[in-house]
Amino acid sequence: MNSPFQFGQIVEGEAFTDREESIKRLINNFNSGVNTILISPRKWGKSSLVKKVSKTLRSENANMRFCFLDLMKI
């Protein structure tokens, strides 16, 4: 049986699962300037969540900037 979930890459569009509460909270934190740390096991969608929120916020505010750093191999 094939899994409907995508692993090992950033997920967008229809493959992104319904995480409305997490999206709302992260948007509020970013708009309020609250430092936020997402903690969960590997491959649970943290990067996909942040990418989704950053895309949403950039469409609402062209002055908002995001920087993504991958420190996994350090």
Summarised one tens digit per residue, pLDDT across range 25-62 is: 999 999 999 999 999 998 888 999 999 999 999 999 99
Closest to 54 in 3D by CA, of 43, 41, 42, 68: 68
The answer to whether 48 touches 10, Cβ cutoff 8 Å, is yes
- Which of helix, strand or coil describes residue 49? helix
| Count of beta carbons in the 10 Å neighbourhood of residue 16 | 16
Q: How confident is the model at residue 11 (pLDDT cuts 50, 70, 90)?
A: confident
The whole model's pTM is what? 0.82
The answer to whether 52 touches 59, Cβ cutoff 8 Å, is no
